[in-house]
Amino acid sequence: MEKAVGLVILSLIAVLVALIYFEIQQEKEWEMFKVIHHCKIISKISGSVAIGVAPIIGGNGDVAISITPIPGKTGWQCDDGVTYFK
């Protein structure tokens, strides 16, 4: 049992490290793309929070409440004619 728990924890750590690595790689690629394509900021969108309420399926009338943060975005106009929101 202890080995299974250790394996699950190790797997979760590996997934977290991989996600962080890929996020860093995407950011590096975007930074290079911005320079190559002369991207300029044209807009900013503020972040917000979405709140949801739903009945719990099979429950006794209980409801589930979800709170989801929505990050802000910046609009970039690039010389390839496309507007990117990051």
Q: Which pLDDT score is estimated for 4?
A: 83
Query: Exposed, middle or buried, 39 (CB in 10 Å: 0-12/13-18/19+)?
Result: buried
Give the pTM.
0.64
pLDDT, averaged in runs of 10, over the chain (86 residues): 86 96 97 97 95 79 87 96 94
Q: Which residues contact 63 (CB under 8 A, 6 or more apart)?
A: 53, 54, 55, 56
Q: Which residues are registered as beta bridge partners of 67?
A: 51
Domain boundaries, the chain: 1-36, 39-86
In one letter, which amino acid is 45? I
Q: Which pLDDT score is estimated for 58?
A: 66
Helix (H, G, I), strand (E, B) or coil at 21: helix
Token pair 């496309």: residue: 82
Run of H or E including 44: strand 40-45
Q: Which pLDDT score is estimated for 63?
A: 82
Q: Which pLDDT score is estimated for 81?
A: 93
Q: Which pLDDT score is estimated for 56?
A: 78
